[in-house]
Amino acid sequence: MTANGGSSTGVPEKFATLGLTYDDVLLLPGASDMAPDQIDTSSYISKNVRVNVPLLSAAMDKVTESRMAIAMARQGGVGVLHRNLSIADQANQVDLVKRSESGMVTDPITVHPDATLGEADAICAKFRISGVPVTDAAGKLLGIVTNRDMAFENDRGRQVREVMTPMPLVTGKVGISGVDAMELLRRHKIEKLPLVDDAGILKGLITVKDFVKAEKYPHAAKDGEGRLLVGAAVGVAGDAFERAQALVAAGVDFIVVDTAHGHSRLVGDMVAKIKSDAPASTSSAATSPRARAPRRSSTRVWTASRSASAPAPSAPRVSSPASASRR
């Protein structure tokens, strides 16, 4: 150290600390009595959001949309949907992830009997499903239309009621156990089990693919209802708050306030605004276009930054480029 605060090599003190890279460090193995299957790699994004593998995909438009988020969650991590989309499109991406698999679909996609086969086919293509229940305006189950019903129909303008498999169908009661549901699917050699109440109103849907996926991806990161976890990013200005409300209504598990400069006061203001409104936003999910019931008590809010410098004392905690702080 020299009198002027530099090192003996002439390098200023703040740049003279030891720096190491991967090739400079060797982790020496030691004795262990643990087998690989005893290792727990799970971690918490927040108090209530847990992943089985501590990996998140970035909220970038070339990285994370619904298909990437689904793949990440199936492997135990989670994806953060980017915000370079319209509000409706980003909320739709959340919906696609949440509907991709679940223990029971509590608000299944349906089609009206007067809809055309072209419209039914478009719904199946959008959500990557093989068929949809057919219901009337009151939600009463009238039948089901599947790819097999539409496969040999050349006239896509025909109404669904003309080709659907009508009631009575094999159905289950709300609250049926997974074992009993699987037995019904196996016994009747069907792929979808609609759940109805005593009045015949459709209340849910169980599909055989969800059982298959549960076995194929045993470490998938899921919420309390058996749906894949997903996060989404918002900014700090413009429509950011409106976007956050739409994402909460769509069922997002956590929100990341994404900005190039995480130490900006705007970040702290947006985080505080979203956090203060999150319970109300979630409880108002039933007023969304699909009239859903509330999915969780609150949505977690993070801040994410691409800046690597230390935060100013008055700034909210923010992350380094490779992480996000728990808010």
Q: Do domains 41-100+228-325 and 117-209 have the same CATH topology?
A: no
What's the CA gap between 77 and 53, in Å, rounded?
A: 5
- Which residue in the block uniquely carries the two structure tokens 């009206």? 112
pLDDT at position 212 is: 84
Provide φ and ψ at 267, rounded to 5°: -65, -50
Q: Residue 266 is encoded by which pair of tokens?
A: 């705007």
pLDDT in tens for each of the 327 residues of the chain? Answer: 555 555 566 777 777 777 888 888 888 888 888 888 888 889 998 888 999 999 999 999 889 999 999 999 999 999 999 999 999 999 999 988 988 876 677 778 899 999 999 899 888 888 888 888 999 988 899 999 988 888 888 888 889 888 898 888 888 888 787 788 888 888 888 888 898 988 889 988 888 887 888 888 989 999 888 889 999 999 998 899 999 999 999 999 999 998 887 788 888 889 989 888 765 433 322 222 333 333 443 456 655 544 433 333 333 333 333 333 333
Every domain of the chain and the residues it spans:
41-100+228-325, 117-209
pTM of the model: 0.66
Q: Is residue 37 classed as helix, strand or coil in its secondary structure?
A: helix
pLDDT of residue 315: 33
**CATH number of the domain at 41-100+228-325, please?**
3.20.20.70
pLDDT of residue 61: 87
- CATH no. for 117-209: 3.10.580.10
End-to-end CA distance of the chain: 40
Structure tokens at 40: 């727990």
Tokens encoding 325:
């702080």
Q: For residues 181 and 176, what is the distance between their CA atoms, to the nearest angstrom?
A: 6
DSSP state of 116: B
Question: Which pLDDT does position 57 carry in this prediction?
Answer: 92
Sheet with 202-207: strands ordered across:
172-173, 192-196, 202-207
Q: How far apart are CA 1 and CA 10, in angstroms?
A: 9
| Cα–Cα distance measured from residue 205 to residue 171, given in angstroms and rounded to the nearest whole number | 9
* C-beta of residue 79 within 8 angstroms of C-beta of residue 56: yes
